[in-house]
Chains A and B, each alone.
Chain A
Amino acid sequence: MSGNPIEVAVRVQGLSKNFGTVQAVRNVNFSVSPGDIFGLVGPDGAGKTTIMRMLAGVLSPDAGSIAVDGVDVSANPEQAKLRLSYMPQRFGLYEDLTVAENIFFYGELFSVPRTERIARSKELLEAAGLQAFRRRLAGQLSGGMKQKLGLICALIHTPQVLLLDEPTTGVDPVSRRDFWAILYDLRERGVAIVLSTAYMDEAERCTRLALLHTGEIRLCDTPARIKEAMPGTLLAISSAHPRFLREIIAGKPGVLGTLLMGDRIHVRVDDPARRIPELQILLADQGVGIADIVRAEPGIEDVFVALLGQGNKS
């Protein structure tokens, strides 16, 4: 146990960054506590990677400050780097080195003592299911395996703060689920994790989220409270002809939005108690018959669209 337990692992205040005339990051504020998995969520171009790179100390902000474990990243980058581990989108694996050699290299880079390095490497390789691939060249691994090796290398030292930039891009759902099990394990050991993702379904696994849009944080809270912030209630109606259903329903009174899916539609309404019977009657009148209308659990994407959509849908 070293020192006092910290309450805030990452504190970001008034962070801004411009590239020419593009305001990539605008006055971003957030803090991350040990044991948080903080998600920076948004589409490509929202500013996720720019924020990550500033947190990692590889890009200087134009304004604002970042403290990692109380250390100012701009003033003391070397001190800050000892406390964090950063896995960029394209992690710098040496393709002509083996899996084991890559891990060894990163262990040396972070000055991890030999015995600790060996123990940690064994533990992580087992968790990743990569033991059998220790002698394979990194360049010959599949995309998912490369991502796992990147994470092992980033975790070969035990950081207080772990920064992961879109860590699961291209990784299949089975591996992704297991990848998250590792993150939850680190969380329970008190590591503060900041990760970015463009995938709204993945965002739901974070303990806290910031919804990023054009460089700004639009909403920052737990996934559950973000879902509560969605205006209206989401309903699902199954149909073999969802497109036809939507044509009938879109734009009707109390219908705030519709979404066409493969075998059903989602309808966001203002007042479900009133609108469900109205929709039943409407659909029956149109010859659809008795439709099964059920409440659907909104996803983060539904909230994103409800809050930020330009209302340019019918």
Chain B
Amino acid sequence: MTMVEPAIIIQGLTKRFQDFTAVDHLDLTINQGEIVGFIGPNGAGKSTTIRMLCGLLQPTEGQAFVAGFNVGRQPEAVREHIGYMSQKFSLYGDLTVRENLRFFGGLYRVPRHDRGERMAFAIAMAGLAGREDVLVRTLASGWKQRLALGCAILHRPPVLFLDEPTSGVEPEARRQFWDLIHELAAGGVTTLVSTHYMDEAEYCNRVALINRGKLVAIGSPSELRGHQLGGELFEMDCAPLGAALKVLTDVPGVEEAAIFGDKLHIVLSAGGITAGDLPGFLGARGIHADPPRRVTPSLEDVFVHLVSGSHETRGAF
């Protein structure tokens, strides 16, 4: 086997705006054909990192290579080798499917002799055969989004950046979209997906969580779910929920408590109140509670745990 070079290499990547460090010595290597999710709170440095990786913003310090090109020194070569797609703003609604493809083909400088074949590929991939002359604004959201993907990969970029690609798309279409991404990955295309939605992160092979410009955790969705939350996670039915939450916040042994759907999620550490004691404890304070049950943390539980410890300006919502 030949050595395959990683598709994205990030080394000590840093971006400062005056005295604010948006991205702080980030290190990350992404292999060819990997689908990696990029998650983090608003203002964590996700967009700044992606803008640097796309060659749109000069790093202050450190370096990054995308498809073998240095983002700081060869930004134009980087831009020619990437595809970028966000759910919003990517297509022209007043142009037809074919006109959009032609436009993006020109923009990405797809060689003329290759253009017909690439457009046909994009149309087939998006399931838009027979609709080439339909105005894009009249298409259902799932088609639009697959067409946007088709436009983003017309020039066969080895690296693809997606920004919340499936928000607001019909569930069935959304699953088809992720199938396409997995198919591209099998063909060697590397994808970095930035999102706020944990269900999008579940489609990724690995998920990188960044907070305050730093990499806080990385692993497969299952590995991240196995992350220590500082105790064991329990789910409990109780009423009223808000009152239970208030009471539990100050109880020794309760590391975290949060409303999750119509239940509470509670992280209990050793040496404090036990799960068995909770119903009685709450009952004595006029709150009805069923016995808690152990649950596996969701990606969101892990996210909130890893992020909220260091959230200074955080309030109750």
Query: Quick one: which of A43, A45, A173, A179 contacts B317, CB cutoff 8 A?
Result: A179
For window 58-108 of B, CB contacts with A under 8 Å fall at none
Q: Which single residue of chain B is at the shortest CB-CB distance from A302?
A: B171
For window 235-275 of B, CB contacts with A under 8 Å fall at 240-243, 245, 258-262
A127 at the interface (CB under 8 A from B): yes
Using an 8 Å CB-CB cutoff, how does the interface string of B187-229 with A read, 1 for contact, 0 for none?
Answer: 0000000001111011111110000000000001110000000
A205 and B298 CA atoms in complex are apart in Å by 14
Give the chain B neighbours of A285 by CB distance below 8 A.
none
A8 at the interface (CB under 8 A from B): no
Is the beta-carbon distance between B178 and A182 smaller than 8 angstroms?
no
Give the chain A neighbours of B197 by CB distance below 8 A.
199, 201
Give the chain A neighbours of B171 by CB distance below 8 A.
43, 200, 301, 304-305, 308-309
Give the chain A neighbours of B168 by CB distance below 8 A.
43-44, 198
A26 at the interface (CB under 8 A from B): no
Query: Quick one: which of A127, A176, A184 contacts B315, CB cutoff 8 A?
Result: A127
A259 and B142 CA atoms in complex are apart in Å by 17
Give the chain B neighbours of A182 by CB distance below 8 A.
316-317
B304 at the interface (CB under 8 A from A): yes
Minimum Cβ distance to chain B for residue A298 (Å): 12
Is the beta-carbon distance between B222 and A173 smaller than 8 angstroms?
no
Among the listed stretches B22-30, B40-48, B151-159, which one makes contact with chain A, having 4 or more residues with CB under 8 Å of it? B40-48
Among the listed stretches B1-9, B110-118, B305-313, which one makes contact with chain A, having 4 or more residues with CB under 8 Å of it? B305-313
Is the beta-carbon distance between A181 and B317 smaller than 8 angstroms?
yes
Interface residues on A, range: 35 or more
Is the beta-carbon distance between B198 and A201 smaller than 8 angstroms?
yes
Q: Which single residue of chain B is at the shortest CB-CB distance from A308?
A: B172
Is the beta-carbon distance between A262 and B42 smaller than 8 angstroms?
no
A308 and B142 CA atoms in complex are apart in Å by 14
Is the beta-carbon distance between B196 and A171 smaller than 8 angstroms?
yes
Is the beta-carbon distance between B245 and A181 smaller than 8 angstroms?
yes
Given contacts A148-B317, A170-B196, A200-B171, contact A175 B220 (CB under 8 A): no
Is the beta-carbon distance between A127 and B175 smaller than 8 angstroms?
no
Interface residues on B, range: 35 or more
Using an 8 Å CB-CB cutoff, how does the interface string of B136-180 with A read, 1 for contact, 0 for none?
Answer: 000011100000000000000000000000011111111110110
Query: Quick one: which of A173, A207, A264 contacts B41, CB cutoff 8 A?
Result: A173
Give the chain B neighbours of A249 by CB distance below 8 A.
none
Q: Which single residue of chain A is at the shortest CB-CB distance from B241?
A: A184
B124 at the interface (CB under 8 A from A): no
B129 at the interface (CB under 8 A from A): no
Given contacts A143-B42, A184-B242, A205-B262, contact A44 B203 (CB under 8 A): no
A142 and B47 CA atoms in complex are apart in Å by 13
Minimum Cβ distance to chain A for residue B129 (Å): 14
Is the beta-carbon distance between B41 and A172 smaller than 8 angstroms?
yes
Give the chain A neighbours of B198 by CB distance below 8 A.
173, 201
A170 and B41 CA atoms in complex are apart in Å by 10
Give the chain A neighbours of B207 by CB distance below 8 A.
262
A142 and B202 CA atoms in complex are apart in Å by 26
Query: Quick one: which of B140, B172, B206, B314 contacts A129, CB cutoff 8 A?
Result: B314
Query: Quick one: which of B35, B42, B222, B316 contacts A172, CB cutoff 8 A?
Result: B42
A304 and B300 CA atoms in complex are apart in Å by 21
Minimum Cβ distance to chain B for residue A162 (Å): 14
B182 at the interface (CB under 8 A from A): yes
Is the beta-carbon distance between B261 and A44 smaller than 8 angstroms?
no
A204 at the interface (CB under 8 A from B): yes
Is the beta-carbon distance between B202 and A261 smaller than 8 angstroms?
yes
B303 at the interface (CB under 8 A from A): yes
Is the beta-carbon distance between B175 and A264 smaller than 8 angstroms?
no
A-B contact pairs, 24 of them (CB 8 A): A43-B171, A45-B141, A126-B316, A127-B315, A143-B42, A170-B42, A173-B300, A173-B307, A178-B314, A179-B317, A198-B169, A201-B197, A201-B300, A205-B260, A207-B262, A223-B262, A260-B178, A260-B203, A261-B202, A262-B205, A262-B207, A263-B205, A301-B199, A313-B176
Q: A132-B313, A309-B171 given. 7 additional CB < 8 A pairs?
A: A129-B316, A131-B315, A172-B42, A173-B300, A173-B307, A184-B242, A309-B172
